[in-house]
Each structure stands twice: as C-alpha cells, then as structure tokens.
C-alpha cells in the first residue's frame, strides 16, 4: 500500500510512548516527534460529545501550502488520554490510514501545480458543514475515489486478512468494518450511484493487487 511500511514502522517504533496514559499535550508531542515532517501538522481538537478515551482521526491536504493536516479528535471533558496495548493496534491503523490518505492527495497534486487553488476547507470542520449535495460532489471526485479506494484496500488487509480481497469487494455490503465503503453508501443513499460504486471498488481492487 502507499507508504504503509514507512508510516507503520514509525508508529511501531514509538509504541512505548503511545501505550500509556498521558496529557493531550504530551500525546501531541509524541505524535509530532514520530512524524517530524516539514509538510505535516498534527493538531488535537476537543469535543463535548466525546467520552473518555473516545477518539477519531481526520485529515486535510492543503495544495497551496503543500501541507498535510492530521486531526486527532478527543473529549473536551477530560485532560488525559490512555492508549492500552489492545487499543494500540487500531489506533496505529487509523493514524496510518489517514496519513496515507492525505499523502496520496499530496502525490496527486504534485502532478498539477498549475491547478492549485487556496484551500477553503477548515480542517477543524471535518466536512460536517457540507450539504449532502456537496458531499456527493466531493466523493465523486476522481482523487477521492482513488484515496477512498486505497482506504478500502487498507481496511480489507487490516480487518479481514485471511479473506480473499476479491470476495470482500464482491460482497462488500456484508463486511461492516469496511467503513470507507459505507461512507459512500450513506452519502449516495436514495440515488443511483452504480458508476461511482464501480469505480470505487475497482480502485480498491487495484490497490489490493498493488500490495499483493
């Protein structure tokens, strides 16, 4: 997969620094020390509706700045975050996945410098302000189809390592941990999206073959 080994190894090398209970500021320091890239900024955003140790990860690539933003979303009601040994596996995967997603966008835009425009998306918004029509246009973009196809390939490898990837893709509705597919299914609910679905799953298949 795209940069999987490099990113996964960087996280794994710092496992002992992640697997503990620490303040948000200390966790942010560990994240930034793990990836000391000039073109990467990692931030923490806090939300009232998150419970203790609940989290999500999101990201953004700003093509004008040529900079990736990774956002760790956590609870505003607490000051510390604990990653157990059991939690670490999924935390590592999700962190790697979002960083690979934005790195792929960076690669896509490196071939079209003349098209770059100032980024108008506030990474703290995480897309929640989009209308359903805007979300559908966004997800229909060939760049997103390629990046989400890559996400799907990563999810197959992580959650269903003993299952033939082609079988997962053929019966993808049965595999509930392929969350990137269900983002599309939810967005396009109620309308015909066969062509987009076909392109998305084809990209996912291509990425699984590239890995194999």
- Rg from Cα positions in the chain: 17
pLDDT digits (tens, 9 = 90+) for 20-51: 999 999 999 999 999 988 999 999 999 999 99
Per-residue confidence band for 121, with pLDDT thresholds at 50, 70 and 90:
very low
The whole-angstrom separation of Cα 72 and Cα 151 is 18
Map residue 110 onto helix, strand or coil.
coil
Residue 81: pLDDT over 50? yes
Alpha-carbon distance values, 60 to 43, 45, 68, 88, 116 (Å): 11, 14, 6, 23, 15
Mean pLDDT computed over every residue of the chain: 91
Q: Average pLDDT of 178-204?
A: 97
Residue 113: pLDDT over 80? no
Residue 11: pLDDT over 80? yes
Residue 212: pLDDT over 80? no
Per-residue confidence band for 128, with pLDDT thresholds at 50, 70 and 90:
low
Instruction: Look at the block and give the residue holding tokens 């935390």.
Output: 91
E strand or H helix at 22: strand 21-23
Per-residue confidence band for 119, with pLDDT thresholds at 50, 70 and 90:
very low
**What are the backbone angles phi and psi of residue 132, rounded to the nearest 5°?**
-65, -35
The whole-angstrom separation of Cα 21 and Cα 27 is 9
Kindly list the domain boundaries of the chain, sorted by start residue.
Answer: 4-115, 132-211
């Amino acid at each position: 997969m795209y940069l999987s080994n490099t990113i996964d190894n960087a996280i794994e090398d710092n496992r002992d620094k992640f697997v503990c209970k620490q303040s948000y500021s200390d966790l942010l320091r560990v994240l930034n020390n793990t990836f000391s890239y000039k073109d990467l900024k990692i931030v923490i955003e806090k939300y009232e509706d998150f419970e203790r140790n609940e989290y999500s990860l999101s990201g953004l690539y700003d093509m004008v700045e040529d900079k990736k933003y990774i956002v760790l979303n956590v609870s505003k009601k607490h000051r510390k975050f604990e990653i157990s040994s059991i939690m670490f596996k999924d935390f590592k995967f999700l962190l790697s996945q979002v960083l690979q997603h934005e790195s792929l966008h960076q690669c896509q835009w490196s071939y079209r410098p003349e098209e770059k425009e100032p980024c108008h998306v506030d990474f703290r918004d995480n897309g929640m302000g989009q209308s359903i029509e805007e979300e559908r246009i966004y997800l229909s973009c060939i760049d997103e189809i390629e990046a989400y196809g890559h996400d799907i390939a990563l999810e197959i490898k992580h959650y269903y390592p003993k299952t033939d990837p082609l079988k997962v893709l053929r019966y993808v509705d049965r595999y509930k941990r392929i969350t990137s597919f269900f983002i599309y299914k939810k967005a396009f609910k109620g309308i015909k999206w066969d062509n987009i679905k076909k392109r998305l799953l084809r990209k996912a298949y291509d990425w699984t073959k590239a890995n194999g």
